[in-house]
Structure 1
Amino acid sequence: MGKIYEKLTGRLREFISAQPVYFVATAPESGGHVNVSPKGYADTFAILDDHTVAYLDLDGSGVETIAHLRENGRITVMFCAFHGPPTIVRLYGTGRVVTQNDPDFAELLTRFGPHPGVRSIIVVDCDRISDSCGYAVPFMAFEEDRGLLDQWAERKDVRQKRAYRAKNNRESIDGLPGLSASETDPVTTHS
């Protein structure tokens, strides 16, 4: 059944890289709403080393992950197989939000594919890496990525992106701080 790993092994790296979708879970310190976000675009996830991963945080209608990480850092990233052997991999750890204002943003950005709606990069230091069976996860076929999020971001100019982020990304649904005013300026280059 399940196993705990000391590091991201070659087999785990191959499994993670083959998944077209992953899920990110965070929660406020006490009370409030638990958040689970599906993430697509396989080129938005990168394994940085044996215990560290990162993903490209693209524009969205909410800012739960950023707000929760800034409050308490707790995060879980889950991958599950919808084809092949029934496997689930969970990466538990502490996350941090890297914005365009941070010195390591530009270097991290090079690890991902080109996307126009870059809001931040989430870096996760994994303190528990485990797998488990996915016996009840259904078989599903991947057809293609939806291009809608990238298309939406391409249609917005800098002013429109700034206004959207100011309206939708300054605080979480529970009122926790999200992006600051200086972080709502869109990144002017693609990832």
Structure 2
Amino acid sequence: MGKFSNRLSEAHQQFIEEQKMFFVATAPAGEGRINVSPKGYDTLRIASGSKLLYADYAGSGNETANHLAERNQITLMWNSFGENPLILRIYGSGRVISKADAAFETVRAAYFPHIDSRRLRQLFEIEIELVQTSCGYGVPIMEFKEDRPRMGEWTDNQLHADKLESYIARNSDSLPAKIRKLMSGEEVS
């Protein structure tokens, strides 16, 4: 049976900080597909027992931001792959802090000073409404080896070629429309 609370305890915070990855889930307001994205690297910060922040690198899609623009509900999940099983879910409301937002650089500098702002697509702020833990007995035991270097290498290459900002803009604007067209049977170029 799961346990519930409305904020992160110190034990919850310690558990989150020990995990190497987490999952983010969002859904559109109307019809559409639920999106679940794995997140890694050093991109999550606990601002308080009721607020989280995470830094978002450019990727193949931007469904999380698009879904939050329609419907601000978001779920984050961590699970232990170690000897002590546990699953922790956070249900809350999320908002995008875009690079155009006046708060972007202040938040990035305060919580993610190790990340060059040019590498980021946006930041996300999550207000926690509910924390749920469950046993995690069905999660396998696995050992962390290392973060994949490819994301950093790709980002470096895009930055040096002065292409990252245009990629982020193109990716952020066009992907949801392409997905909708594909799902309706239209051809997409």
Q: Settle same-fold status: TM greater than 0.5.
A: yes
Equivalent in the alignment of 2:185: none
Deviation at 1:174, TM superposition (A): 3.2
Closer/same/farther in 2, CA of residues 99 and 46 from structure 1, 3 Å limit: same
Q: Secondary structure at the match of 1:131?
A: strand
Indicate the residue corresponding to 1:14 in structure 2: 14
Residue of structure 2 in register with 1:182 after alignment: none
106-115 or 130-139, which moves further after superposition?
Answer: 106-115
Tell me the distance in 2 between the aligned counterparts of 1:12 and 1:48.
13
Give 1:162's aligned residue.
165
In structure 2, stretches of 5+ residues that fail to align are 182-189
1:174 aligns with 2:180: yes
- CA RMSD after TM alignment: 1.5
Partner of 1:26: 26
3-state SS of 1:156 partner: helix
Paired with 1:4 and 1:93, the residues of 2 have a C-alpha distance of 13
CA distance in 2, matches of 1:92, 1:131: 11
Q: 1:56 corresponds to which residue?
A: 55
User: Could you tell me how far 1:87 is from its partner in structure 2?
Assistant: 0.3
Residue 161 of structure 1 aligns with an amino acid whose one-letter code is L
TM-score by length of 1: 0.86
- Aligned residue in 2 for 1:185: none
Of residues 150-159 and 117-126 in structure 1, the stretch that sits farther from structure 2 once superposed is: 150-159
- Per the TM alignment, residue 62 of structure 1 is displaced from its structure 2 partner at its CA by 0.6
CA-to-partner distance for each residue in 1:58-91, whole Å, 9 max, x for gaps? 1101110000001111100000000031100001
Distance 1:46 1:67 in 2: 22
Using the aligned pairs only, state the percent identity: 38
Q: CA deviation at 1:8?
A: 0.8
Query: Could you tell me which residue of structure 1 aligns to residue 96 of structure 2?
Result: 97
Partners of 1:79 and 1:127 lie apart in 2 by 16
What whole-Å deviation, never above 9, does each CA across 1:133-155 have from its counterpart, x for those lacking one?
11110001001111211111111
Q: What is the number of equivalent residue pairs in this alignment?
A: 174
| Equivalent position amino acid for 2:143 in 1 | A
TM-score (normalised: structure 2):
0.87
2: distance between equivalents of 1:146 and 1:102?
30
Structure 1 residue ranges without an equivalent (≥5): 176-191
2:156 is paired with a residue whose SS is helix
Q: Which moved more, 1:13-22 or 1:163-172?
A: 163-172
Partner Cα distance (2:6, 2:75) in 1: 16
1:132 paired residue number: 134
Contact 2:77 2:87 in 1 (8 A): yes
Determine the C-alpha separation between the residues in 1 that align with 2:130 and 2:169.
Answer: 35
Structure 1 window deviating more from structure 2 (109-118 vs 32-41): it is: 109-118
1:28 counterpart letter in structure 2: P
Given candidates 118, 121, 125, the residue that maps to 2:120 is 118
1:83–1:140 contact (8 Å) kept in structure 2:
yes
Supply the AA of the counterpart residue of 2:173.
R
| Greater fraction helix | 2
Amino acid at match of 1:103: A
